[in-house]
């Protein structure tokens, strides 16, 4: 019987732990965790994300600050805002919602956030700490951190002897995911669009993580029987069965057929997605603990 991971349920358990940790920090050190979210422009999807992040921060007992800037904001104005947030002692996390409008140099903005406040885990210092195995010194990108919670809850903390394959080599997900698996002692292969006989590589995986952005690319005959399959893809495809012009969300894994073979699988939607905001809250409370000189909780 295949286990389908309920991402909402796991995310809720992480949020509960964050609330407990944030309350404990307030009680013991008098420190209220603070998160600032910055959004530029009018992208509706970005605004929906940001409002859910701000709402969740309040729910976790954080000070939640939101800066909504017009589309015509300049690079210099945004950079100045980030500098002021860097200096603000009451804020432990800063998040600039991506993508920024086209006229911005996004990378320069992201790298200007202090690494210890970079709760998205995108600063080169945080990427470097993860790459060198320093999981306790940096902040890990939220989506791979969330996917790793599923892996550890399935297989335990130590993945010695297990083969893991990550399809996708992006800086945002593929590389940090591979490094987290490596840090937990898995034997890791990073596969991508140039990999020869991708299906054969995937069939060797006890843990298969798909993050390529190609709808239902991973088929049942790519999956080793009994494997754990983590699907990070979010693709919108036409769904004529729902009516003309309708669409539905699917992952990078052909869910129905792969669920017949895998032992554990994540659905799309409702799998990795809910974990991203949960891990953002976890990173913010971790940053607050570190700033207060306390041992940060693990999630």
pLDDT of residue 119: 98
Secondary structure class of 110 (helix, strand, coil):
helix
Q: Provide the token pair at 66.
A: 């939101």
Q: Using an 8 Å Cβ cutoff, are 175 and 190 in contact?
A: yes
First to last CA, the chain: 28
Question: Which pair of structure tokens corresponds to residue 118?
Answer: 């970079």
> How long, in residues, is the chain?
299
The answer to whether 64 and 54 are in contact (CB under 8 A) is yes
Rounded to whole angstroms, the Cα distance separating 116 from 74 reads 25
Q: Which domains does the chain have, with CATH numbers?
A: 28-116 (3.40.50.10860), 142-274 (3.40.50.720)
Q: What pLDDT was estimated at residue 144?
A: 98
Is the CB of residue 191 less than 8 Å from the CB of residue 198? yes
Per-residue pLDDT tens digits of the chain, which is 299 residues long? 899 999 999 999 999 999 999 999 999 999 999 999 999 999 998 999 999 999 999 999 999 999 999 999 999 999 999 999 999 999 999 999 999 999 999 999 999 999 999 999 999 999 999 999 999 999 999 999 999 999 999 999 999 999 999 999 999 999 999 999 999 999 999 999 899 999 999 999 999 999 999 999 999 999 999 999 999 999 999 988 888 889 999 999 999 999 999 999 999 999 999 999 999 999 999 999 999 999 999 99
Residue 291, both tokens: 């700033």
Which residue in the block uniquely carries the two structure tokens 């890791």? 188
3-state secondary structure of 253: strand
Beta bridge partners of 209: 166, 230
Residues forming a β-bridge with 166: 190, 209
What pTM did the predictor assign? 0.95
The sheet with strand 63-69 has its strands ordered as: 63-69, 34-40, 93-96
The whole-number pLDDT of residue 5 equals: 98
Q: How many CB atoms lie within 10 A of CB 196?
A: 7
Distance, in Å, from the CA atom of 12 to the CA atom of 146, rounded to the nearest integer, reads 12
Give me the active site residues, please: 53, 97, 120
User: In degrees to the nearest 10, what's the CA dihedral of 14, 17, 23, 24?
Assistant: -140
Rounded-to-integer distance, Cα 59 and Cα 6, Å: 21
What per-residue confidence (pLDDT) applies to 29?
96
Structure tokens, 247: 């669409």
């Amino acid at each position: 019987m295949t286990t389908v991971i309920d991402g909402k349920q796991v995310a809720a358990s992480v949020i509960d732990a964050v609330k407990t940790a944030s309350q404990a920090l307030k009680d013991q050190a008098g420190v209220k965790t603070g998160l600032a979210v910055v959004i530029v422009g009018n992208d509706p999807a970005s605004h929906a994300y940001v409002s859910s992040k701000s709402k969740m921060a309040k729910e976790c007992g954080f000070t939640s600050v939101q800066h909504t800037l017009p589309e015509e904001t300049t690079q210099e104005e945004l950079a100045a805002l980030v500098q002021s947030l860097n200096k603000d002692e009451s804020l432990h996390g800063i998040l600039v919602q991506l993508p920024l409008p086209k006229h911005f140099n996004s990378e320069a903005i992201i790298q200007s956030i202090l690494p210890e406040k970079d709760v998205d885990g995108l600063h080169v210092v945080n990427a470097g700490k993860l790459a060198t195995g320093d999981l306790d010194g940096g902040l890990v990108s939220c989506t791979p951190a969330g996917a790793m919670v599923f892996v550890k809850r399935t297989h335990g903390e130590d993945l010695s002897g297990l083969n893991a394959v990550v399809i996708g080599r992006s800086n945002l997900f593929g590389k940090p995911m591979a490094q987290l698996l490596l840090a937990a002692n898995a034997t890791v292969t990073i596969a991508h669009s140039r990999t020869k006989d991708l299906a054969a590589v995937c069939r060797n995986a006890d843990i298969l993580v798909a993050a390529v952005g190609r709808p239902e690319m991973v088929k049942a005959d790519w999956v080793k029987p009994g494997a754990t399959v983590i699907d990070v893809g979010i693709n919108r495809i036409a769904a004529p069965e729902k009516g003309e012009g309708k669409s539905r969300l699917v992952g990078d894994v052909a869910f129905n057929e792969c669920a017949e073979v895998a032992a554990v699988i994540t659905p799309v939607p409702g799998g990795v997605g809910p974990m991203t905001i949960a891990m953002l809250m976890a990173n913010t409370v971790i940053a607050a603990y570190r700033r207060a000189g306390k041992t940060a909780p693990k999630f």
